[in-house]
Amino acid sequence: MKIPETTTCLECGKIILGRTDKKFCNLACKNKYNNQRLKEKKERRLNIIRKLSRNYEILESLLEEEQSFYYIEELIKLGFDIRYITEVRHLGSRNQIFLCFDIAYSLSGSRISKIRRDSLTRF
Ligand SMILES: [Zn+2]
Q: Report CA(10)–ligand 1 centroid distance (Å).
A: 7
Residue 19 belongs to some domain of the structure: no
Share above pLDDT 90 across residues of the chain, in percent, rounded to a whole number: 77
Residue 106 belongs to some domain of the structure: yes
What's the structural domain count of the chain? 1
Domain that holds residue 63: 32-121
pTM flag (> 0.85): no
Residue 26 belongs to some domain of the structure: no
Instruction: Name the band, by pLDDT with cuts 50, 70 and 90, for residue 2.
Output: low
Q: CB neighbours (10 Å) of residue 30?
A: 16
Residue 66 belongs to some domain of the structure: yes
Beta bridge partners, 116, equal 104
Q: Report CA(73)–ligand 1 centroid distance (Å).
A: 48
Q: Report CA(12)–ligand 1 centroid distance (Å).
A: 4
- Contact criterion met (CB below 8 Å) for 84 and 51: yes
φ and ψ at residue 87, rounded to 5 degrees: -165, 150
Single out the residue of 26, 121, 3, 100 nearest to residue 12, CA to CA: 26
Residue 45 belongs to some domain of the structure: yes
Q: Report CA(8)–ligand 1 centroid distance (Å).
A: 8
pLDDT (average), residues 24-28: 95
- State how far the Cα of 75 lies from the Cα of 66, in Å rounded to an integer: 16
- Contact criterion met (CB below 8 Å) for 24 and 10: yes
SS3 49: helix
Residue 71 belongs to some domain of the structure: yes
Residue 55 belongs to some domain of the structure: yes
Q: Report CA(26)–ligand 1 centroid distance (Å).
A: 6
Q: Report CA(42)–ligand 1 centroid distance (Å).
A: 23
Q: Which residues surround ligand 1, an ion (CB under 5 A)?
A: 9, 11-12, 25, 29
Instruction: Name the band, by pLDDT with cuts 50, 70 and 90, for residue 112.
Output: very high
pLDDT of 43-79, one tens digit each?
999 999 999 999 999 999 999 898 999 999 999 999 9
Residue 22 belongs to some domain of the structure: no
- Contact criterion met (CB below 8 Å) for 99 and 52: no
